[in-house]
Structure 1
């Protein structure tokens, strides 16, 4: 008789949501609401939520603060990934990243191409890691947030997703900071 493989238990991830906008508040933050609803429906925990104006230094400081917070595993920001002068979230994220997840941008573009065609070229969505915390900068539209979550993040933030996922390597993200 052969033993069946052990079934992996779901691990809830603690996720902070940051909306970047000069004009939104929590009462009309549809993209932030979309992310919160989806992460909670998937069984994850909303660790924190905030809205900041499009200010690179303030965004980077919030990302640094959250990346050092042991109660936050992932940061999802929405807004500021376009090409206009006020779109600075990608630069703020890159100010903080220790490592960029290059394939996230590529995969997001592929997913977006299927939905909005060549207009996908205007998004600069990005992902990276800092202080053992995953960070993703998503566009500010609810549709783009749905696409990023439904097509990429819901799978990669689920330890049961095979052949590999972000959750299974979380304990090793900051191993370079640990004493030998």
Structure 2
């Protein structure tokens, strides 16, 4: 039995378990080209064991209260992941990361998932500030941030490496007091 949190009648968050590594890896593997364009961990995730190691690391982060990871499902099908990372309980802030299988893009799913995660972060974890950093060229991720109620703060120039190349990141923030 999987622990889930409903987003709407079709979408839910599933609490990840190491036993789900193969299922998650299969989704990553089928979407390597799509996801690999802006996520440099995709080529590094070569085996089911790599995914299992990642899940264990994130679960330890959940124990340490520095991370919060969910699988996104449509009905019972795993279609993506979303997380809070760099959780700072003192300042009450965190950063959001996400990915979605190609067949489920452009349907408003990630916008719903981000909004649901914001509600969870603000209401359950009592965080006050969330941020999203998106590679400037990743139009879809930037659109998700804007459509999810985040405010564009600015461009962080050459703030990240993507496949060894410096990239600009767009920074978005949302406060618990924002509507």
Q: TM-score range, shorter-chain basis?
A: 0.3 to 0.5
Indicate the structure whose relative CO is greater, using CA pairs within 8 Å and at least 6 residues apart. 1
Whichever of the two has the greater Rg, that structure is 1
Query: Which one has the bigger strand percentage?
Result: 2
